[in-house]
Amino acid sequence: MPPHEPASSRRVVIPGAIGERPYRIVFVCTGNICRSPMAEVMTRFMAQSTPLADGTTLGDHLDVRSAGTGPWHEGEPMHPFAQEALLRAEYPRHPHVAHQIVSAELARIDLVVALDRRHRQTLRGLGADPDRLALLRAFDPAAGAAADVPDPYYGDELVFDDCRDMIAGACTGLVASIAENWDTLWAA
């Protein structure tokens, strides 16, 4: 089974919600066919397995999506090696369609999660609120100083498995952080 035990994360501040529920999260990588859709699938799965005090799950209250910084793969499915890496770790199949993020979307997203520093820079250039922008690996206490999730696009299955495991560690911390702060996300 995929790892989804709560883990304390680095001290990354989870921004409060912009509006009503659900809490909106978007993961962003380059073409939206490898890293960001893997993070989307894992976060959604982990959140569905995270109970809240009211008897619902965290996943019942999240809108988790992914996007790319460029148009190269717009409309394409997830990279086959990314999908296979998820399936090998027993994550559910996901009917992904690649999408490029645009400036107009950013104002409606509670938390924008960049997969590397280049993506974060591009998102800032598109107008992302720096207080709502985080690097994924900042949620993984085991990442140390490593900030980026390397692009597996030209790699083999082992490279994609390593990428998946790196993303899973960070998603575990992200889901734990959101769950720990859930009651305060809609505070005025």
| 156-169: pLDDT as tens digits | 999 999 999 999 99
The list of the chain residues with pLDDT below 70 reads 1-11, 188
Report how far Cα 100 is from the mean position of its chain's Cα atoms: 15
pLDDT for res 1 = 42
- Is 21 a residue of the active site? no
Determine which one of 60, 63, 151, 162 is catalytic.
151
Output the CA–CA distances (angstroms, integers) from residue 14 to 163, 164, 173, 185, in the order listed.
24, 23, 11, 8
pTM: 0.94
- Is 29 a residue of the active site? yes
pLDDT in tens, 39-71: 999 999 999 999 999 999 999 999 999 999 999
- Is 131 a residue of the active site? no
CA 3, 133, 24, 38 dihedral sign is negative
CB 28 within 8 A of CB 66: yes
In the structure encoding, which two tokens stand for residue 134, read together? 């985080």
Q: Is the peptide bond before 92 cis (omega within 30 degrees of 0)?
A: no
Instruction: Please tell me the chain's helix, strand, coil percentages from 3-state DSSP, rounded to the nearest 5.
Output: 40, 15, 45
Determine which one of 35, 44, 65, 164 is catalytic.
35
- In the chain, the N- to C-terminal Cα span, in Å, equals 38
Across 79-107, b (16+ Cβ under 10 Å) vs e yields: bebbbebbeebebeebebebbbbeeebbe
